[in-house]
Amino acid sequence: MTLDTLRKAFLLFAATQCAGHSPLYERLAIGIADDELVLELVLSAAPSQQRPTLLFAAVHELVVQERRHPLATYYASATSHVADGDPLPAFRDYCSSYRERLLDRMRSGGTQTNDVRRSAALAIGLHYLQTQLSQPLVLVELGASAGLLLLFDRYRINVGGHVLGPEDSPVDVPVAADKRVETLLPPAMPPAALATQNSQFVLAARCWKEAVPKSSILAQVDAYGRHMHGVGYAKLSG
């Protein structure tokens, strides 16, 4: 990928992924598009991983570990008093100060977008199939990313007032649904018969600073994984 192509990728990311959702990443992405030194960090990654999300994930992960730098004051995951003002100068300085560590992370890491709330789509579809079939369903997921969806049958998924999964599940996933979706849901919602394998990784550093609801769901999944499997979920950015 060329520098010019990467610049356009950051501007597109700011306009289509951040605008209206993440003021922090929107401002940073626009500024990074004009910063060749920061863009070179991204170009150090594998060709398939040269993307804005990997840079933001790598920085976020280190910021949580190195909270003494002024950039940490812009992340709710690193401080209880989030700073106002332009984060770009602090971000540039951070990338310069921790360049070697970021290069190591960029060269070895990777990102795959995932979200616990996507489990609702699986739940709706598989519950509907279960009403049409007499055999148990088996879920095989290739490229399971963080493995967040492999325990979806144990989440409490509230779809327009219909509850899928155990009522007492510690993981609550509220979902807005229109009438077309609700017609796929039977009146009674028994758990679907599923056979799954769980990959125990929650990539918390990928959560955007403004994604408080998503972060709280990840915290629920993390705690549930500890209870079910006796182990913690690795909090990595890639």
Q: Consecutive sets of 10 residues in the chain, 238 residues long: mean pLDDT of each?
A: 93 93 93 94 91 91 87 88 92 94 87 75 80 80 70 81 83 73 51 37 47 54 51 34
Distance from C-alpha of 46 to C-alpha of 20, rounded to nearest angstrom: 30
Type of residue at 145: S
DSSP state letters, 80-116? SS---S--HHHHHHHHHHTHHHHHHHHHH-------G
Cα distances (angstroms) measured from residue 154 to each of 83, 114, 165, 177: 38, 18, 6, 20
Look at residue 8 in the predicted model and tell me its pLDDT: 96
Identity at 54, one-letter amino acid code: L
The pLDDT of residue 228 is 47
Q: What is the pLDDT of residue 166?
A: 86
Q: CA-CA distance, 93 to 136, in Å (whole number)?
A: 55
Domain boundaries, the chain: 3-108, 116-229
Angle of the 52-65 helix axis to the 36-43 helix axis, nearest 10: 100
157 close to 120: Cβ distance less than 8 angstroms: yes
Distance CA 22, CA 212 (A): 11
Both tokens assigned to 60: 């976020």
